Structure 1
């Protein structure tokens, strides 16, 4: 049976890390004040900047603080989690301690009487064939088992190396062709259509792309709505304006909530 609730808040791509204290504090406030006002919270991946194993979190005071905030939230509001591309190694030990329920990517849910298909979003970026090959490789259980057997310091070094390479590659692509890079790193209509069709749904909600919007889309005769969640960043004023938002769904419909101003 799919999860059902009368009201929900959906968030993704917070990329929590000790180096972003303002963003982290807004998340702690969200867990304490905003989230308990609804029946369910759905976190659609990339809650953390990276995750190299549940055992590694035991050595991180910051991740332990996040764990306590999530456990407190789960005691008040049903909390669901979908893996992102940065935290797909988040495992059952951490989930059990936080009280969160793991959902497959994608998953159908029912909120206020309407069905929505929830996903992180990276699997829908099929124009980036290199990334999809990488994604398929690192999701293999045997490779994950090998990685998690490495010393924690090695795992963190590998994660930081991959993050640096990813950022450098994005910067090279962006400088070469902004429009081409936007297409490559965004979801494709073909992927959205196929995923929605396979789940008999016409409403899709995802994160990952950091391009918050509400779309009315079509592919052939297939029609659907797509909502994209915002990333959170309150710590880099030199960049775009501070951002932190959630999607609220209840009997009144679907609307974005600006958490920067609240």
Structure 2
């Protein structure tokens, strides 16, 4: 039976890290003040900037602070988590301590008597062939087991190296051809159509692309609606407009909540 609730808040791509204290504080405030007002909270991946294993959390005061905020939230409202592309190694130990329930990517839920399919969104970016190959490799259980058995400092070094390479490659492609790069790294119409058709729903919610918007889409005779969640960033005003929002669903409908002004 799929989860059913009368109200919910959905967030993703918080990218929590000690180097972004304003963003982190807004997340802590969200857990304490905003989230307990609804029946369920869904975090659709990339809660952390990166995750190299549950054992790393015990050595990080910052991650312990996040753990306690989530554990406190879970005592007040049901909290769900879907793995993102940066923290897909979050495991059962961390989930158990936080009280969050893990959802498969994708998953169907029912909120205010309507069904939605939820996912992180990276699997829908099928035009980025190189990334999809990489994703298929790192999601293999034996690869993950091999990585998690490495010393912690090796894992952190590898994660930082991959993040640096990814950022550099993105900037090169964006400077070379901004439009083509955005099309390559965005979700494709065909992938979205296949997902909603396979789940027998016509409402899709995802994160990952950092392009928040409500879309009414069609492919052939198939139609559906798609909501994209915002990433959060309150720490880099010199590079981008501060962002922090949630998608609210209840009997009044679906709407974006600006958590900066809230």
Q: TM-score, length-normalised on structure 1?
A: 1.00
The separation in 2 between residues aligned to 1:122 and 1:219, in whole angstroms, is 20
- In structure 2, runs of 5+ residues without a counterpart are none
Report what 1:29 is aligned to.
29
* Matched ranges for 1:88-127 at <5 A: 88-127=88-127
SS, match of residue 109 in structure 2: strand
The separation in 1 between residues aligned to 2:4 and 2:34, in whole angstroms, is 20
Root-mean-square deviation (CA), in Å?
0.3
SS, match of residue 218 in structure 2: strand
Q: What whole-Å deviation, never above 9, does each CA across 1:59-108 have from its counterpart, x for those lacking one?
A: 01000000000000000000000000000000000000000000000000
The separation in 2 between residues aligned to 1:241 and 1:209, in whole angstroms, is 16
For the pair 1:71 / 2:88, whether they are aligned, the reply is: no
* Matched ranges for 1:213-228 at <5 A: 213-228=213-228
Task: Give 1:46 deviation, angstroms.
Answer: 0.1
Task: Give 1:240 deviation, angstroms.
Answer: 1.6
* Matched ranges for 1:134-153 at <5 A: 134-153=134-153
The separation in 2 between residues aligned to 1:255 and 1:10, in whole angstroms, is 11
* Matched ranges for 1:1-262 at <5 A: 1-262=1-262
The separation in 1 between residues aligned to 2:94 and 2:109, in whole angstroms, is 23
Q: TM-score, length-normalised on structure 2?
A: 1.00
The separation in 2 between residues aligned to 1:240 and 1:171, in whole angstroms, is 15
Q: Aligned pairs, how many?
A: 262
Task: Give 1:172 deviation, angstroms.
Answer: 0.6
